[in-house]
Amino acid sequence: MNDEKIPPNARDCDDQQKRCEAMAIIEAENSLQTILKDLRRQEKHSVVFNQYHRQFLNFLRDADWIACMKLPDTPRTTLTLLRNGWIERRATKDGIEYRITEAGLTELSRPR
């Protein structure tokens, strides 16, 4: 058998590689925990379709894509509608445009 000692630098490399692998695992677990927390938060704060949403969607109901300049200036409502998938957004050379989705039409046609 060969009784040669492993150089200290090689041990450091192995330890460093093990630490990097451990950190990657920890970061992956943390990101999964973060995702789960975000999902739970979203479940707790589910958005109820309200009159503001209904009014905004009525502007989009009969048309295809509408420029944002022709819509009410309600960024919070717009963001909520986008997050829930009730409207779509696209950027064109003329600016940002929105249109209602099938989910938005369904929500709009539900009784109050």
- CATH class in words for 51-109: mainly alpha
Domain boundaries, the chain: 1-46, 51-109
C-alpha angle 14-19-25 in degrees, rounded to nearest 5: 130
Around Cβ 4, how many Cβ atoms within 10 Å?
A: 6
Please list the pLDDT of the chain residue by residue as tens digits (112 residues). Answer: 454 554 455 555 566 666 666 666 666 566 666 666 666 666 555 678 889 999 999 999 988 999 999 998 888 899 889 988 999 999 999 899 999 999 999 999 988 7
- pTM here is 0.58
Radius of gyration of the chain (CA): 26
